[in-house]
Structure 1
Amino acid sequence: MTPTTHSDAVHTHTNSCWWNSDEARWVCPHDAAAPLVDVRDMIVVHTAMLREFRLAPAAVRRVAPGSAKGAAAVERHLAFVCDMLHHHHQGEDELLWPLLRERAPAAAAVLDQVESQHADIDAALDRVAYTRQAWAATPDAERRETLALTLERLHALLAAHLDLEESAVLPVAAGVLTDAEWGAVGAAAAASMSKPALVLAIGMFAYEGDPAVLRTMLSHAPAVPRFVVPRIGPRAYARRARQVHGTARP
């Protein structure tokens, strides 16, 4: 590692730093000349999705065999969170990884790893889609347990992936992207949702998310949605949680 002085303090380069050959200088996340992009919104999204996939197997097992109504309610929620995860990863694949590969070549190995994890998670999502649809059509005990086990495997893959992304990728993104480039990733995910789905998603994020970060996430929305959504979103999520998890506070 090469020590470099930044703001009268000794800085040791890490994998988050990269050499800009065009400008013949190091670019470092903690360099005062390169202010950090606020990536905390990604952590809010991760926390919500990981919670829902952690709770999903128990939600499935809670449905009594033969209960078509119960299976339909849980399957609808699983479809919602699976679609959210798919579009979240699609935005990263299309908008985030290419920029990071270009600007942070030292991070190539970890980017290879998270892209490989995306492929594994996509395959797991396909298995979940097949098993949840089969269970919803015939909600017997055997199909219920198959789905629960499939969801447990997906959760394990997702937990490992999000841990790596938060520890090794987000610090790089914070140092090398612009606010507009970072915002485009979240905007693409939001554009994939209907308005009711977006309200539910905001409520899901607000359940454990930092209120200050949520305000930032909504800061570019028109005035009415910016005022209304934070108020109706938590109620929408509470209704969904009661249907799926049996409580508004899962």
Structure 2
Amino acid sequence: MTNDDVEHPTAVVETRLAHQVHRVATTLLAEAAVRPSVPLGALAQLRDFLVANLRHHHETEDEDLWPRIVAAAPATEHELGVLSEEHVRLDAALDLLAAVNMTGDEVGDGAGEAVGTGLGAGGVADGVRAALRDAAVAVRDTVHDHLEHEEPVLFPALRDHISPEDWQDFAQRVIATTPPVAGHLMIGFLDEVGTPAEVELVLSGLPEPVRPLLPAMRRQATDDLRILRGTGS
């Protein structure tokens, strides 16, 4: 365990890692969307992971974490309310990302021209990728800007106003309600953004039956992230 782990409470460490995952994952989708070597199926999986997890993250903040902080420090209510307004704008960007039709990727395997478009399968896939890229860039930019606003407010609030017991209760509620969408990607991203000690701190809250699955989840995440980055075999 590093000095940083000792100096910063679990709430700050876990939240910082979650935010770093959001930064890395949204950037990867924006960059991978138009990479021809990346199958649309892999992009759809990352897109679905991001939409589900970003929504869940900000909903648990609005509905559970913010009220805990305000109860302990009423003066934070306005700043947290501003952050919730930004969550509404993020939801709008996520709606557009979720609406990109990713079901047509496999038309690339000799399916012929798309009816009424005059485009072959490659043209259809290119259009899907361009639409995905535009929506992913909007989400990436919204998330990165939002985190720049949120962290200077949230990290001090977590340090000063959330007890270890309160954080443990909140974190367990988050884990219990996390959508089961490509969960292996979360493991892979955590390994990239955190130290082994930090990652173990986050994963220590997983239900015991899940822990034996971690090695397989890590292998799958490594394979999928290589494909998304265009470095797979």
Q: Could you tell me the TM-score, scaled by structure 2's length? A: 0.77
Q: Which amino acid aligns with 2:165?
A: A
Per the alignment, do residues 70 and 39 of structure 1 end up closer, same or farther by CA in structure 2, a change over 3 Å counting? same
Who is 1:17 aligned against? none
Are the aligned partners of 2:24 and 2:189 in contact in 1 as well (CA < 8 Å)? no
Runs of 4+ residues over 6 Å off in structure 1: none
Aligned length: 209
1:211 has 2:189 as partner: no
Question: SS of the counterpart of 2:231?
Answer: coil
Match of 1:53 among 18, 23, 26: 26
Residue by residue over 1:198-226, the C-alpha shift from the partner in whole angstroms, topping out at 9 and shown as x without a partner, is 34322221112122122222334466754
Kindly state the Cα deviation for residue 181 of structure 1 after the two structures are TM-superposed: 2.2
1:189 CA displacement = 3.3
- Flag the structure with larger Rg: 1
Task: Tell me if the contact between 2:48 and 2:181 (Cα under 8 Å) persists in the aligned partners.
Answer: no
CA contact (8 A) 2:12 2:155 kept: yes
Q: Are 1:240 and 2:224 counterparts? A: yes
Displacement of 1:90: 1.5
- Equivalent of residue 192 in structure 1, options 177, 191, 208: 177
Question: How many Å apart are 1:80 and its aligned residue?
Answer: 1.3
Name stretches of at least 5 consecutive residues in structure 2 with no aligned partner.
1-7, 108-123
CA distance in 2, matches of 1:205, 1:132: 28
TM-superposed deviation, 1:228: 5.6
Output the CA distance in 1 between the equivalents of 2:53 and 2:211: 21
Q: 1:185 to 1:123 in 2, by over 3 A?
A: farther
Which moved further from structure 2: 196-205 or 140-149? Answer: 196-205
- The amino acid of 2:127's aligned partner reads E
SS in 1 for 2:193: coil
Distance 1:195 1:126, change over 3 A: closer
1:4-61, CA deviations, whole angstroms, 9 ceiling, x for partnerless residues?
xxxxxxxxxxxxxxxxxxxxxxxxxxxxxxx955421111111112111112122110
Say if 1:95 and 1:185, in contact at 8 Å, map to a contact too. Answer: yes
Indicate which of 4, 26, 41 corresponds to 1:72.
41
SS of residue matched to 2:204: coil
In the other structure, the counterpart of 2:163 is: 178
5+ residue gaps, structure 1, are 1-34
Aligned to 1:94: 63
What SS is found at the alignment partner of 2:100? helix
Q: Give the letter aligned to residue 153 of structure 2.
A: A
RMSD (Å) for aligned C-alpha atoms: 2.8
Separation in 2, partners of 1:224, 1:79: 24
SS at match of 1:62: coil
- 1:92-113 per-residue CA deviation (whole Å, 9 max, x = no partner) reads 1121011122222222232121
Give TM-score scaled by structure 1 length.
Answer: 0.72
* CA distance, structure 1, for counterparts of residue 52 and residue 180 of structure 2: 15
User: CA–CA distance in 2 between the matches of 1:123 and 1:162?
Assistant: 17
* Structure with greater strand percent: 1
* Residues 2-17 of structure 1 mapped to structure 2, 5 A cutoff: none
Q: Which structure ranks higher in relative contact order (CA pairs < 8 Å, sequence separation ≥ 6)?
A: 2
